[in-house]
């Protein structure tokens, strides 16, 4: 996972991101088509981690149909995304939500009441042991909390309100799911190797027979 000496990026994605490309639906769906073509051959001769993740989701929800998210015309979203994080890359406290954060009402996934994330650890930045992949705060997003997030003062809010948190420390092969309305952050990468994860978002509603998965 080495970069070219001239490449100063601290994050590289392999896959299609609705968060990054969703402002242009046609470009997003075209990019997703390319991702499906890439992933169709990328894991030949190997265990397909994307299908493995989908199988685990299906096992958790046997009464529903787990499938890659799609628009009503059948065009597919990206099935999953590899995120490669290099030294110093971090995420401050935030949520991930197609409606509450990104306001993407024109996408089919906006229909789901709940949104979750699934993250499979592929490689830690420090190969010596488990690495902290995320910090989850016991605090669901509300409009009242948003100003603290926007102004970079959520830790101040958390201290004042006694908000508990936990660190998610993983080894390669570990997989976890969480509610993306739960405020979370990712500490800076520390180590000689990049941190690599396979990530998905999951749309769920109690009264919907389908569970949509996308990146």
Q: What is the pLDDT of residues 192-212, one digit of tens each?
A: 788 999 999 999 999 999 999
Q: Are the CB atoms for 74 and 67 separated by under 8 Å? A: no
Average pLDDT over residues 81-88: 90
3-state helix, strand, coil in the chain (%, to 5): 25, 35, 45
**What's the topology of domain 11-214?**
Jelly Rolls (2.60.120)
Taking the C-alpha atoms of residue 172 and residue 119, their distance in angstroms, rounded to an integer, is: 11
Taking the C-alpha atoms of residue 109 and residue 201, their distance in angstroms, rounded to an integer, is: 10
- Residues sharing a CB contact under 8 Å with residue 98, sequence separation 6 or more, in sequence order: 18, 22, 104, 107, 109, 110, 115, 201
Phi, psi of 68 (to 5 degrees): -65, 135
List b or e across 134-163, with b for residues whose CB sees 16 or more CB atoms inside 10 angstroms. bbbbebebeeebeebbeeeebeebbeeeee
Domain ranges of the chain: 11-214
**Residue 2, pLDDT score:** 54
Residue 55 has pLDDT above 80, yes or no: yes
Residue 127 has pLDDT above 70, yes or no: no
Which tops the pLDDT comparison, 129 or 169? 169
Helix, strand, or coil here: 13? strand
């Amino acid at each position: 996972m080495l970069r070219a000496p001239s490449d100063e990026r601290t994050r590289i994605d392999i896959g299609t991101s609705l968060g990054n490309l969703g402002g242009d639906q046609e470009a997003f769906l075209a990019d997703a088509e390319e991702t499906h073509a890439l992933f169709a051959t990328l894991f030949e001769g190997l265990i397909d981690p994307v299908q493995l993740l989908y199988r685990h989701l299906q096992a958790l929800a046997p009464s529903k149909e787990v499938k890659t998210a799609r628009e009503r015309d059948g065009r597919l979203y990206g099935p999953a995304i590899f995120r490669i994080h290099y030294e110093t890359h971090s995420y401050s406290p935030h949520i991930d939500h197609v409606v509450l954060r990104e306001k993407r009402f024109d996408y089919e996934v906006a229909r789901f009441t709940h949104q979750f994330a699934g993250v499979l650890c592929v490689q830690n930045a420090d190969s010596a042991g488990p690495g902290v992949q995320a910090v989850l705060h016991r605090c669901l997003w509300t409009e009242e909390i948003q100003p603290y997030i926007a102004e970079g003062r959520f830790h101040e809010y958390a201290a004042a309100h006694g908000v508990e948190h936990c660190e998610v420390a993983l080894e390669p092969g570990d997989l976890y799911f969480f509610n993306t309305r739960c405020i979370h952050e990712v500490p800076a990468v520390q180590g000689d190797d990049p941190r690599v994860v396979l990530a998905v978002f999951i749309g769920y509603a109690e009264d919907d027979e389908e569970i949509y998965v996308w990146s």
